[in-house]
Structure 1
Amino acid sequence: MRISLIGFGKMGQEIYKIAEREKIIVSSIIDPHHQKATCSGITHQSLKNTDVAIDFTHPDTILENIEKAAKEKVNLVIGTTGWLDILPKVEKIVKKNHIGLIYGSNFSIGVHLFWQILEEASKKFNLFPQYDIFGHEFHHNKKADSPSGTAQKSAQIILKNIKRKKTLQTNILNRPPKPNELHFTSTRGGYIPGTHSIYFDSEADTLEITHQARSRAGFALGAIQCAKWIKGKTGLYTIEDYIKELFN
């Protein structure tokens, strides 16, 4: 399989290392700002002989990147977050150009296991109103979006299963949170790859569920696995579609 890397920041470099280990050919590295890039932009030449392009760039450029890759009939793995407001436009591009695209807020298998545990825990704690629920996430100081896509997905799992929590509140509060608010906060600083914690807290005790990424290797491996999976497919998929097939 041949892949192109759109963006050669920390994630792109990690994917490159995993690709080498997996004997996957990196046919091009597309980045206008990195000296090791083979191309500065997405063109016919830069995507020639590419089966799947993997994009970890920025939400401001994602629509243009998808349009250009789709024009070249190249399937895509989108690891960039913070762009789901344009999902209907992306769906039209995918359908019009008959390509395959898989996207997700997190490509770590461990995070998906974390979400499954959170789903079951939330159902149980829904029965015990003495427990309050809240969350916090940490990421490095270069992350462009806040809260993270992983935090938002975690919050949706809680809101679906904890009936006393009705709304998500991610802002700094200058007041006590309302009983029906799920307060999920964020910190951006240092070099943290990503840590997400959910707390079920009562006067008597606290139960904490945490996923802590030690490096970007887990995300990179997941992106490579999704690239193998999306090769030759058409349609719009989420990483949950891949995970569901994996667990089945």
Structure 2
Amino acid sequence: MRIALVGYGRMGRAVEEAARARGDEIVARLDREDRIDAAALAGAEVAIEFSVPSSAPLNLRRLAEAGVDTVSGTTGWDPAQGEVDAAVRAAGTGLLVAANFSLGVGFFHRIVREAARLAAGVPDYDVHLYEAHHRHKLDHPSGTARMLADSVVELFAGKDRWEESPPAGRPEREVVYLSVARAGEIAGTHVVSFEGPNDRVELRHEARDRGGFAVGAVEAAHWVRGRPGVHTLGDWLRDRFTDSPSP
């Protein structure tokens, strides 16, 4: 498959390595100063976009206008922005936006959802989330942490919202608190802790490097090719994890 890389930073280079290993061809590498149009995309069948939050909406609109299906892993912007969805639908292209393309994270997310649901039957438990990434990451909490926190709020009895912690005053029982760290070159760590009066149940996903995210992004690019419309992470993972409920 012919792939254009939009955003050629650390993730873009990792995606290139994963795509080449799969036998795909990289036909364009576009970064911040490069214009996105049909000529620059050089016959790409799919684009994989990892840029920055301020650039992503315009990048995605231009890719749609150029007639190229796209997967985007840029976080820190609102993927439901109407102008992006409208451009994709008008062009008849496909778009998949996700906070994390790691299949391990998809697996982890399903475990967290099931654990949050089961915790309703265990009295006096609380829940807390923690995430850590490298110091170059611009958004916080991460998109993956937000996804996990949303699921915990949805399924854990007695919680109605999440907030980045620690709180300024007394913690509220109805709030799921999410702690964030940015340091060094941490590839990505997410922890969900269920705290009981006598014990703790802790679920943890720790990325060793960017390879898992890159391999998943390439697989998602193959999935979105020829699928018009705006797709969610759940749409892709529902096909990938055929025996699991969608997030």
Rounded Cα–Cα distance in structure 2 between residues aligned with 1:222 and 1:239: 11
Residue 15 (structure 1) aligns with: 15
Measure how far apart 1:43 and its partner are: 2.5
**CA deviations over 1:61-83 (Å, ceiling 9, x no partner):** 11110121111101111110111
User: Residue 189 of structure 1 is aligned with which of 171, 183, 199?
Assistant: 183
SS of 1:204's equivalent in the other structure is: coil
Assess if the C-alpha contact under 8 Å between 2:5 and 2:30 holds in 1: yes
Residue 129 in 1 paired to residue 90 in 2? Answer: no
Identity %: 33
Assess if the C-alpha contact under 8 Å between 2:79 and 2:97 holds in 1: no
Residue 53 in 1 paired to residue 18 in 2? Answer: no
Residue 195 (structure 2) aligns with: 201
Assess if the C-alpha contact under 8 Å between 2:36 and 2:62 holds in 1: yes
**CA deviations over 1:177-218 (Å, ceiling 9, x no partner):** 111111011111110111000111122111100000001000
**CA deviations over 1:66-121 (Å, ceiling 9, x no partner):** 12111110111111011126532211111111110011111000111111111111
Residue 62 in 1 paired to residue 91 in 2? Answer: no
Q: How many residue pairs are counted as aligned between the two chains?
A: 242
SS of 2:4's equivalent in the other structure is: strand
Residue 97 (structure 1) aligns with: 91
| Further displaced range: 214-223 or 41-50 | 41-50
Aligned residue identity for 1:59: P
TM-score, with structure 2 as normaliser = 0.94
Assess if the C-alpha contact under 8 Å between 2:4 and 2:29 holds in 1: yes
Residue 239 in 1 paired to residue 233 in 2? Answer: yes
Q: Name structure 2 gaps, 5 residues minimum.
A: 243-247
Q: Name structure 1 gaps, 5 residues minimum.
A: 34-39
Measure how far apart 1:42 and its partner are: 1.4
Assess if the C-alpha contact under 8 Å between 1:226 and 1:239 holds in 2: no
Aligned residue identity for 1:13: R
Residue 36 (structure 1) aligns with: none
Counterparts in 2 of 1:100-115, with a 5 A limit? 100-115=94-109
Residue 154 (structure 2) aligns with: 160
